[in-house]
Structure 1
Amino acid sequence: MNKLAIIGGSGLYNIDGIKDEKWLNVDTPWGKPSDQILEAKIEDKQVYFLPRHARGHKINPSNINFRANIDALKQLGVTDIISVSAVGSLKEELEPGKFVLVDQFIDRTFARVKTFFDKEIVAHVSMAKPTSPGLMKACEEVLKKLNLKHKVSGTYLVMEGPQFSSLAESNLYRSWGCDVIGMTNMPEAKLAREAEIRYTSVAMVTDYDCWHEDHEDVSVEQVIKTLLSNADNARKMIVEVVKNFENFIDPKDPANNCLDTAIITDRSHWTETTKQELKNIAGRVLKS
């Protein structure tokens, strides 16, 4: 059975018609996730919502417990994640209010733990194609249906933050051909892959970072204003995707069973302690 989770801002779950709402406490070997996880139904389809920064936006991007977030969702049986996040634009044609369906990342974060396999058991999953093509297609079809401005395929530069970019940094990332810049999708996407959860990223452009000479430097006020104006569109997208995402699941998705060929450490070195720590994430392969 396929289950979808949405990771994003606190207001994404304020959806008309949502029912059977229940906030769940989930413990993980990595600590507590960002917040309780909302279990609910949209037209009889079960869905989960995880406020990435906690309700009220209380967690700095660098302090998000990404491992706990992914582990908690895996425990709930989540097979697919749609990440919804605010980003700055690095290209003229990606104006505020536009959606970008991300299919590549450049990870420039440096203060975060980026793997579940950090002691005794070592695994190397492929991130060549870091997002799930089927989920991205599901989102694309919905954005078309709703007639919302969007771009299919884009590179997301993930910076550490919490400060916004310097002008020199912004221009450097533009020279690399990046489309958008944000602070939250790494190591989230990497950890989802290690957990064999299909993942896609829907980026909502809120500003032009600081490179555009005809626009003000990015500010929190500006970001929030654009986010609020676009939140209804994001919620409409979620409702439609929940209904139909299963129709787009790709049997050859790179996340499917990727741990089969990723673990390099010989079984003789696996300890029960580490196996217990990884049981939610990698129990399928550790038991085999």
Structure 2
Amino acid sequence: MTDHDHHAPRTPVIGVIGGSGLYDIAGLTDQRWERVASPWGEASDELLFGTLDGVSLVFLPRHGRGHKRAPSDLNYRANIDVLKRVGVTDILSLSAVGSLKEELPPGHFVIVDQFIDRTFARAKSFFGAGCVAHVSVADPVCPRLGDALEHAARTLGLDVTRGGTYLAMEGPQFSTRAESNLYRSWGCSVIGMTNMPEAKLAREAEICYVTVAMVTDYDCWHQDHDAVTVDQVVKILFGNADHARNLVRHVTPHLNTPRTSCPAGCDHALDHALITAPAARDPDLVAKLDAVAGRVLGG
């Protein structure tokens, strides 16, 4: 893509990453599942392509259909790469979470605006030895997408809070009570296992990104935590998934406006991020970056 092409109006392609309990999107026409190859390895599943109320949409079940992949085993780089490779411009990340605040009960939705990354066993960047880059993730969520989702959620009458911090833990175990109380003392709103490094990689790939965190339970800090049964959590999980499908269906038409660029700069995050001099860049790594960073690498 040339710089001229980058500033031409683009028709949005909406990417949806579905978390626990959300393995498909209702209402899609012209549906087809297709595996997309990535130089970063195997994505979580095939991509589901379709049209939703006239808008191109691509869905990826984060854990694979049937929930086959644990959070630490996900190939986050491949997941983001394949979405970029097929032209996705905006990612709606739908994620089941635990609540760290009394006022965010099970069934509540939080449109997250910040993250704290406590994961440690995952590849977190497309860049590295041979092509070093540092992108800003000071504001990791696209406010334009957040505005659209908040409006859609309130129109649908969903219990929603705009703004909050998502604590990303490694897992697969849940927190100890001491950890849960520590994260509460930091002011975190919700806790989950998957949105980091996903959000960081989306920023490196210059894709607008937003998280809708769907509360299934209070984390173990809560005095009533031990009274919660698996059946109750699963019931909330699938109820949230139904609401999430409605939310996606309602918000998607409002995102179908061609634009030349993202007002928040998400789609040119790499403009000043590359550090390695052109002559010193590893051609093999540059080749792998064709979709993610081709705009600035001349691909």
TM-score, normalised by the number of residues in structure 1: 0.96
Partners of 2:92 and 2:210 within 8 A in 1: yes
Matched, 1:193 2:203: yes
Q: 2:85 aligns with which of 51, 75, 82?
A: 75
The DSSP-based 3-state class of the residue aligned with 2:106 is: coil
What's the counterpart of residue 29 of structure 1?
39
The DSSP-based 3-state class of the residue aligned with 2:105 is: coil
Q: CA separation of 1:54/1:218 partners in 2, compared to 1, >3 Å: closer, same or farther?
A: farther
Q: CA separation in 1, counterparts of 2:174 and 2:239? A: 21
Q: CA separation of 1:22/1:147 partners in 2, compared to 1, >3 Å: closer, same or farther?
A: same
The DSSP-based 3-state class of the residue aligned with 2:33 is: strand
Partners of 1:129 and 1:254 within 8 A in 2: no
Q: Which has the higher mean CA deviation after the structures are superposed, 238-247 or 158-167?
A: 238-247
Q: CA separation in 1, counterparts of 2:183 and 2:229? A: 19
* Aligned AA (1:127): V
Q: CA separation of 1:107/1:195 partners in 2, compared to 1, >3 Å: closer, same or farther?
A: same
What's the counterpart of residue 255 of structure 2?
245
* Aligned AA (2:262): P
TM-score, normalised by the number of residues in structure 2: 0.92
Matched, 1:42 2:52: yes
What's the counterpart of residue 99 of structure 1?
109
Q: Which ranges in structure 2 are unaligned for 5 or more consecutive residues?
A: 1-10
Matched, 1:236 2:246: yes
Q: 2:275 aligns with which of 264, 280, 283?
A: 264
Q: CA separation in 1, counterparts of 2:186 and 2:201? A: 25
Q: CA separation in 2, counterparts of 1:144 and 1:189? A: 24
Shift of 1:251: 3.4
Partners of 2:108 and 2:215 within 8 A in 1: yes
Q: CA separation in 2, counterparts of 1:184 and 1:201? A: 11
Partners of 1:143 and 1:150 within 8 A in 2: yes
Q: CA separation in 2, counterparts of 1:96 and 1:248? A: 36
What's the counterpart of residue 172 of structure 1?
182
Q: CA separation in 1, counterparts of 2:235 and 2:129? A: 43
Q: CA separation of 1:159/1:189 partners in 2, compared to 1, >3 Å: closer, same or farther?
A: same
Shift of 1:225: 1.9
What's the counterpart of residue 278 of structure 1?
289
1:163-218, Cα deviation, whole Å (9 max, x unpaired): 01100000000000000000000000000000000000000000001011133266
Matched, 1:116 2:139: no
* Aligned AA (2:53): E
Q: CA separation in 1, counterparts of 2:73 and 2:232? A: 23
* Aligned AA (1:140): E
Shift of 1:41: 0.9
> How many corresponding residue pairs?
287
Q: CA separation of 1:66/1:218 partners in 2, compared to 1, >3 Å: closer, same or farther?
A: farther
The DSSP-based 3-state class of the residue aligned with 2:49 is: strand
Shift of 1:62: 0.3
Shift of 1:247: 4.8
Q: Which ranges in structure 1 are unaligned for 5 or more consecutive residues?
A: none
* Aligned AA (1:22): R
Q: 1:135 aligns with which of 137, 145, 150?
A: 145
* Aligned AA (1:256): D
Q: CA separation in 1, counterparts of 2:228 and 2:185? A: 19
* Aligned AA (2:159): K
Q: Which has the higher mean CA deviation after the structures are superposed, 145-154 or 269-278?
A: 269-278
Q: CA separation in 1, counterparts of 2:246 and 2:173? A: 31
Q: CA separation in 2, counterparts of 1:119 and 1:220? A: 45
* Aligned AA (2:151): E
What's the counterpart of residue 4 of structure 2?
none
Q: Which has the higher mean CA deviation after the structures are superposed, 206-215 or 93-102?
A: 206-215
Q: CA separation of 1:219/1:115 partners in 2, compared to 1, >3 Å: closer, same or farther?
A: farther
Q: Which has the higher mean CA deviation after the structures are superposed, 207-216 or 196-205?
A: 207-216
